Structure 1
Amino acid sequence: MTSRVIFISPATSRALRQARFDDGDSIDDAGAARAHAAAGSLPRAVRVVATPSVRCRETATALGLRAEDAPGPAAWDAGRWRGRTLDEVGAAEPEAVARWLADTASAPHGGESVEDLCARVGSWLDSVADTDGRTLAVVEPEIVRAAVVHALGLPAEAFWRLDVPPLTATELSGRAGRWNLRLGRLLDEPEAGADV
């Protein structure tokens, strides 16, 4: 049995452009237009899920997907930093930001640490591994990063070294607990051999 999970990162939003911890904002007009244009580029899937964040739900809708809520790969809990930019937090709490960036077990904002996030997303990914066929998951960029860290058995510190551009597909495929990674396909580029 081969499982495939294609992670779709959300369209652009004001918060994403400002490097703001998710504040529940909507995707912007340019992001919505790109998502609408990419609607026909996704392969069929046995399961389509989206995290409950506004921008992921709106991206899924713009892509023409009827997605179920997926609480397992929900957005990162940034605690009291939610809605603030990294620059704002860095100016107000420089020691806390430095500790957060240096120690993957640290959560000075009162939310999840990088390690906690990777473990939560890893548990969800392991449960999806039992699904034969393809799963499409519209999720926040940090969820894609955590999934890649887990799937490849990378140290948690690698989380900070992964970039996930808006409206890209990152695919994990595998069987028997071993994942392979295909990353960075733009959604407006049809997948080779995709049954769309």
Structure 2
Amino acid sequence: MTVRVMLISPAMNAALREARFAGDAPLDGSGLRQAGAAADAIPAAGRYLRGPSLRCAATADALGLRAGVEPALRDWEMGRWSGARLSEVSAREPEGVAAWLADPSAAPHGGESLLELCARVGTWLDALDSPDGSDGGRVLGVAEPAVIRAAAVRALDLPPQAFWRLDVAPLTVTELSGRSGRWNLRCGRPLAPEPAS
């Protein structure tokens, strides 16, 4: 069964502007306004989901989505680095940051490694192609950028290091279509109304 998964990255917030490891920061006023302005551009889907973070919840609400919480779409678990700025952690733990960036199995922060993140998101993607079709069709989710990057890496069977080469801008849609083992990718389309048929 072919599945179309559309992942929307949440709107901007202070943590993103400050290059912080997420730490579950909410949207700021600017992010709320931008998400509200994009509400008319949401593609139709049979199932709406969101990550459990405050940022994903507020974005889904501002977009007018009644999205169920999907634990598999939670942000990358950064352990003791959560909420800290990258510059602060780099100054305090330069060897740890270097290992984290170079070795996909490293988790010097005590959270998930890159490999664990990609596996978690990949397991969720594979489950969407269930034999009974219960989760198939068109799925739209609001997910943190790291989750969207991990989905692209896993779906296209890219080497884990490719994760660091992918950018996901706020309020863009990344689409995966296909099924387990054979996915196609459409990257980072800004939320805009779909053309009339």
TM-score (norm 1): 0.95
1:190 maps onto 2:193 in alignment: yes
- CA distance 1:193–1:157, change in 2 (3 Å): farther
Partner of 1:146: 150
Contact 2:14–2:25 (8 Å) recurs in 1: yes
1:169 alignment partner, SS class = strand
Structure 1 runs of 4+ aligned residues shifted over 6 Å read none
Q: Tell whether 2:28 aligns with 1:25.
A: no
Q: Comparing 172-181 with 34-43, which one deviates more in the overlay? A: 172-181
Alignment of 1:3-152 (within 5 A): 3-130=3-130, 131-152=135-156
Q: Which amino acid aligns with 1:167?
A: L
Structure 2's unaligned 5+ residue stretches are: none
Distance 1:184 1:160, change over 3 A: same
Please give the alpha-carbon distance, in whole angstroms, between the structure 2 residues aligned to 1:128 and 1:88. Answer: 39
Q: 1:165 to 1:176 in 2, by over 3 A?
A: closer
Q: Separation in 2 of the partners of 1:177 and 1:133?
A: 17
Query: Any conservation in 1 of the 2:38–2:63 contact (CA below 8 Å)?
Result: yes
Residue pair 1:129, 1:177 contacting (<8 A) in 2 also: no
Q: Do 1:4 and 1:133's aligned partners in 2 also have CA atoms closer than 8 Å? A: yes
TM-score by length of 2: 0.94
- The CA deviation at 1:22 is 1.1
Alignment CA distance shift 1:179-1:192 (3 Å): farther
Correspondences of 1:159-174 after superposition (within 5 Å)? 159-174=163-178
**Does the Cα contact within 8 Å between 1:42 and 1:190 map onto a contact in 2?**
yes
Inter-partner Cα distance in structure 1 for 2:16 and 2:193 = 25
- 1:153 and 1:176 map into 2 onto residues whose CA distance is 11
- Partners of 2:99 and 2:181 in 1: how far apart? 33
Number of aligned pairs? 193
**Alpha-carbon distance change, 132 to 92 in structure 1, aligned in 2, over 3 angstroms:** same
Aligned-partner SS, 1:72? helix
- Stretches of structure 1 that go unaligned for 5 or more consecutive residues are none
